[in-house]
Chains A and B, each alone.
Chain A
Amino acid sequence: MKNIALAIHGGAGTILRTAMTPEKERQYLTALEQAIEVGHQILRSGGTAVEAVIKAVQRLEDNPVFNAGKGSVFTHDGHHEMDAALMCGRTLEAGAVAGVKNVRNPIILANEIRVHSEHVLLTGSGAEEFARERNLPFEPDTFFYDEYRYQQWVQAQATNTVSLDHTEDRKFG
């Protein structure tokens, strides 16, 4: 039997170690464990690597503790713009999407672009139009609202900085 393997990440912009509480740590580790189990189960049952990475990322997108999908950070104008990409190592087919709003799972859209279009990367309103044509779910702005992300945005606006994921002491002004 061949080997199977799955790895996931939830971003390198972690909460500072000094600010991490046991409760928060458990929350992050549980979320990671659930996502890896979803993908690994697919691999164990003979599913493809493409299916496994899509489902694992979808699970992470649905968890607001990570900066993707539902947990996406606020842009300068108070919206959420999301990007995603997917590549198959066997066929070298790739699909990607950038700057989309209100699409529930951008990774699903990236895969739809890979499978159902002759393009690799679609952006903005055009990508959203393609998502509607493929009947992908959209969510209202309230779905993407998170109080922690909102406070990050308020602080960033006050200091006119741009910050990476959770990291609160390293900003790019």
Chain B
Amino acid sequence: TVGAVAVDLEGNLAAATSTGGMTNKKYNRIGDSPIIGAGTYANNETCAVSCTGHGEYFMRAVVAYDVSCLMEYKGYSLQQACDYVVNDKLVKLGGEGGLIAVDAQANIVLSFNSEGMYRAARRNQEPTYLRIYND
């Protein structure tokens, strides 16, 4: 699975996710990636989110929209919302994976509960952040 989230000069947000699914899958199984609110979500008032991981858990937890809801209804920061959903809610469900998120202030969160997540980020003219594992 791959994904991207961005905020532009106008303060507008967007999220995109694309996947080839799971190796050896049957029955036309679909994961969370193309499900708006589960694997992909964007709202200028809160955040843009793209998820990756074991999709069935991300669908049950409605992960991407849940991050947005925690910001909208409970006043969580982007970091607080992502930490709660990925490292608490998802872990309790047994879901493994992560997400990338950005808000209108250009805060970036790269959160995962797996051994690693191929990830990169760049804010303004700052150096590009590149990582694979949880270093």
A33, A89, A99 pick with most chain B CB within 10 angstroms: A89
- By size class, the interface of chain A is 35 or more
Q: A43-B9, A88-B42, A90-B44 are in contact. Are A8 and B96 (CB under 8 A)?
A: no
Q: A12-B53, A60-B18, A72-B21 are in contact. Are A49 and B119 (CB under 8 A)?
A: no
In the complex with contacts A9-B100, A14-B118, A83-B18, A3-B25 CB distance below 8 A: no
CA distance A92 to B42 in the complex (A): 7
Instruction: Check A131 for interface membership: any CB of B closer than 8 A.
Output: no
- Residues 33 to 68 of chain B near chain A (Cβ within 8 Å): 33-36, 39-44, 48, 50, 52-54
Report A-chain residues with C-beta under 8 Å of the C-beta of B105. 3
Complex interface: chain B residues within 8 A of A9 (CB): 1-4, 50, 52, 98-100, 110, 117-120
Main SS class of interface, B? strand
- CA–CA, A121 and B64, complex, Å: 17
The minimal Cβ–Cβ distance linking B75 to chain A, given in whole angstroms, is 19
- Across the interface, do A49 and B6 meet the contact criterion of CB distance under 8 Å? yes
Interface SS of chain A: helix, strand, loop or mixed? mixed
Pairwise interchain contact A53-B6, C-beta atoms closer than 8 A? yes
Q: Are B34 and A89 in contact, with the CB atoms below 8 A?
A: no
Complex contact A52–B130 (CB within 8 A): no
A-side contacts of B33, CB under 8 Å: 83-85
* Docked CA distance A46–B7 (Å): 11
A136 at the interface (CB under 8 A from B): no
Tell me how far the C-beta of B30 lies from the nearest C-beta in chain A, rounded to whole angstroms.
Answer: 5
Evaluate whether A69 and B18 lie within 8 angstroms (CB atoms) in the complex, with A40-B122, A87-B42 already known.
Answer: yes
Cβ–Cβ < 8 Å partners of B19 in chain A: 67-68, 72, 82-84
B120→A35 contact, CB < 8 A = yes
Report Cα–Cα, A89/B5, bound state, in Å. Answer: 10
Assess whether A11 is in contact with B2, with CB atoms less than 8 Å apart: yes
Given B3, B15, B98, B110, which contacts A89 in the complex, CB threshold below 8 Å? B15
Residue contact A54 to B1, C-beta cutoff 8 Å: no
Question: Which B residues are CB-close (under 8 A) to A39?
Answer: 4, 6
* Assembly CA distance A13 to B52 (angstroms): 8
Interface string of B110-124 (1 = CB under 8 A from A): 101011111111111
Is there a chain B Cβ closer than 8 Å to A112's Cβ? Answer: no
Of the A-B pairs whose beta carbons lie under 8 Å apart in the complex, a sample of 19, sorted by A's number, is A5-B106, A9-B99, A29-B130, A33-B128, A35-B120, A36-B121, A39-B6, A48-B12, A49-B8, A56-B6, A57-B16, A71-B20, A83-B18, A85-B17, A85-B40, A87-B36, A92-B43, A107-B16, A170-B96
Lowest 5 A-B CB distances belong to which pairs? A72-B20, A89-B13, A10-B118, A3-B106, A156-B24
